[in-house]
Amino acid sequence: MRPGYDWDLFCAVVDNYGDIGITWRLARQLASEHRLRVRLWVDDLAAFRCLRPEIDPDLDEQACQGVTVRHWRAPFPAAEPADVVVEALACHLPESYESAMAERPVKPVWLNLEYLSAEDWVPGCHALASPHPRLPLTKYFFLPGYVPGTGGVLKESWLVAARDDLRADPAAQAAFWRRLAVPEAEESRISLFSYENTAIQGLFETWADGPERVRCLVPEGRPLADVAGFFGRPAVAAGEQLVRGNLAVQVLPMLSQDDYDRLLWLCDCNFVRGEDSLVRAMWAGKPLVWQAYRQEDQAHWPKIHALLDLLCGDLDPGDADALRALWSAWNDMAGAGPAWPEFWHRRPAWLARLDRWQAQLDGVGDLATNLVKFCNEKSK
């Protein structure tokens, strides 16, 4: 085996944590489960540190859970390319690195890891090759997905066992809630991780006026202005708890990825956004509501409807209608409150559907393993 790295992953952080969250989970799994030497290039280590507190944003190179983390700076330093090179989520390699790839006698396997989508064109585009216009290199488009013929979604081998162990351990659950300063109470617990969303107002009104006690746990971030507006406050901050009627809203500090997984596992319902938290909520197996990243040309709606079509495929019409109504209202940013009671009433059907959905995802295979198999084939 030649010296150097087996895999290089490149991540350009845009305006949220999803890009680095996905790329880090993949890098960690490749190193821990597939015993690969992985180097992760990240252009924003401060954002990375929000998910992994041990990351030092001032270091050019550091080790984290078996992965070498490099600060992706300009100008890009001289670096020997790895055997496999992954552009994560629409980023582009430095020109000097591409040139170094072309100079290798054995060219690296080069992949563009695309965003996750349920749209029906995904299987037809998965694994397509794209020759470089100038250099003797070929890039392959690797598309995550939910159905056979796609790359699957991220899932570590330990994930389900860790989830089930926590759910079976009341003492560990109590310790987790204490660490987050969540008081003991008979209540429904709902996590809310979203973009800005004016539908929060109506949803909170429904919970506040509803028949059962609800605690909404909101990690600090983009929806806090909407949360503050509901309570007539100019702002709210991590550590605060606000109460109206049967609703208690508690603002949590930014959580590490591992703690966010635990939050999803233990809540009764999870509102999630983007790609990374969506997949983690699916593996949590609790009722979930997804907010897609909003695009000016309305390109997010085909993604929403495509995923709903898959999820509703074997649901009774009434259950499917309730799910579609709440997801649509949430992404319309209006009307989520009126759509909530019917969705919540039908949660047993949704829980059963998620069990079947997880089995379907397992049949496709996890993203990291599918990537390794693909690259091994291309390396022969």
275 as an active site residue: the answer is: yes
Of the listed 6, 8, 19, 114, which one is catalytic?
19
19 as an active site residue: the answer is: yes
Of the listed 87, 220, 226, 275, which one is catalytic?
275
* Nearest Cα to Cα of residue 5 among 30, 33, 42, 24: 30
| Single-letter code of the amino acid located at 17 | Y
Catalytic residues: 19, 275
